[in-house]
Structure 1
């Protein structure tokens, strides 16, 4: 299986997703559309992963609508997709749902609570890393997967093989350090989770997060 990953910023890499690809014997291809303007084709994609980033889907960047066109092509071909943070927002927009400023800015660690059994094997509660200020509305026909205390729409499953997550399960301890040392100031400006960069780093990454992202990827790889 060829797993194409779209990485939008240097400090938000695939983390545990890359480990899953290697452990399952698949082939990993990482694209950097913000840096190089290159995207794969749907015809050369078996699983598409769209990562997060500091951009908003409505920003005036040529590659953002091009990326949504790729997502739409994958949807038409029933190619499985996982979107995280910005990636989930891009999927929602490609499906006709709106993306806008969330009522609360969430930066740091906070629990999310499962709202549906549509994707089997996911835990009822996870302590996830949040790094966002925008949010998606649910695409038509989707199942709400997770909510947090501050934001209802934290994850969805649509078309049986497309998952969007507003929060991060893929980031392991070294990945969290990379995010915080480079973008820690984002946590200090109007953060409704009220966590400093130091407090974010103090939290140990729960082992359940890696297990959950593996569960999602295993599901997508056969649907």
Structure 2
């Protein structure tokens, strides 16, 4: 399987998604459309698409952001698996015609999310996830709400049996968290409803079950 990853900032990489790909024997390719003139894979050369987070918004008027949605639309039509984290989940929702706008609270740091669906096996009722956002997607009507949090209701959705969008991050490993907080830590210092500093975020241990849940979700959408 060829997994094409769309990465949108140097500080937010695939983390444990790359571990899952390697252990399952899949080939991982990482694209940086924000830096390299909007270079993207084609739908034909994509078996699984991963759309990561970043400092941009799906509402930004950039050609490569629109091109990403064209790719997502083609893959949705072909019923290929897609996983979106933060901005990536917002891109999927916007591709389907739903709104992306300001969340009721800016969340930056570690906070619990609560499972709202039992469709994916073995997901716990609660996870401690890394949040790094101030926008929120509208849950597509054809999708199931998958997670909520205390401050932002729309935290995750499952579309059919092959598309997952999460407003939060389960994929970061310790190195990813360190990279995010040293390079983009200023984002946590203004209007952050979680009231966590970059140092506090960095010093909290990454829950080991987050990696397990990434594996569970990716196994689910790729066996659909």
Bucket of the pairwise TM-score, normalised by the shorter protein: over 0.9
1:19-46 deviation line (CA, Å, top 9, x unaligned): 1100100000111110111011111111
d(CA) in 1 for partners of 2:223, 2:161: 11
CA contact (8 A) 2:161 2:220 kept: no
4+ residue runs over 2 A deviation: none
**What's the counterpart of residue 64 of structure 2?**
63
Gap regions ≥5 residues in structure 1: none
> What is the DSSP-based 3-state SS (H/G/I as helix, E as strand, rest coil) of the residue aligned with 1:201?
helix
Partners of 1:52 and 1:178 in 2: how far apart? 14
2:10 corresponds in structure 1 to: 10
Q: What CA distance in whole angstroms lies between the structure 1 residues aligned with 2:166 and 2:89?
A: 6
The superposition leaves residues 63-87 of structure 1 with CA deviations (integer Å, 9 ceiling, x where unpaired) of 0110000000000000000000000
Within 5 A, what are the aligned runs for 1:1-223?
1-36=1-36, 37-223=38-224
Where structure 2 has 5 or more consecutive residues not aligned to the other structure, the ranges are none
The 8 Å contact of residues 118 and 143 in structure 1, kept in 2 or not, is answered as no
Decide which moves more: 56-65 or 182-191: 56-65
Number of aligned residue pairs: give it: 223
Give the TM-score taking structure 2 as reference length. 0.98
**What secondary structure, in the 3-state scheme, does the structure 2 residue paired with 1:44 have?**
coil
Q: Please report the RMSD computed on the Cα atoms of aligned residues, expressed in angstroms.
A: 0.6
